[in-house]
Structure 1
């Protein structure tokens, strides 16, 4: 389930993947909200839209990346 999350997550909570673009131009940031959702945003638009994913949906996404099902 995907939902828009209000940008009420503290700035220090956001992190980038170590696999982000080498030129730092292709980056998304993620953070974990207090309610257990995972929030995702474009690092170049920190005040732009933030999407939230249930913990189950986020775990499935991460598992898919790790096992190569999502490239």
Structure 2
């Protein structure tokens, strides 16, 4: 992620979070990358995934949802 993205990232809470405080946030605006953090520790570490890896992860979650 470049310096501009770290200063003012566009964080959003994952739609897979269930509202019990165990939430994951991702940010938009980093070309080719998806930064991810724990919503309980917004000043803590940020994991950065390639967009391909992130999309694969989301597809796997969607396919594993109970019917």
Shift of 1:19: 3.7
RMSD: 2.3
Pick 1 or 2: higher relative contact order, CA cutoff 8 A, min separation 6: 1
Listed as ranges, the gaps of 5+ residues in structure 1 are none
- TM-score, normalized by length of structure 1? 0.71
Q: Check the 8 A contact 1:9/1:33 in 2, yes or no.
A: no
Listed as ranges, the gaps of 5+ residues in structure 2 are none
Aligned-partner SS, 2:60: helix
Count, aligned residues: 63
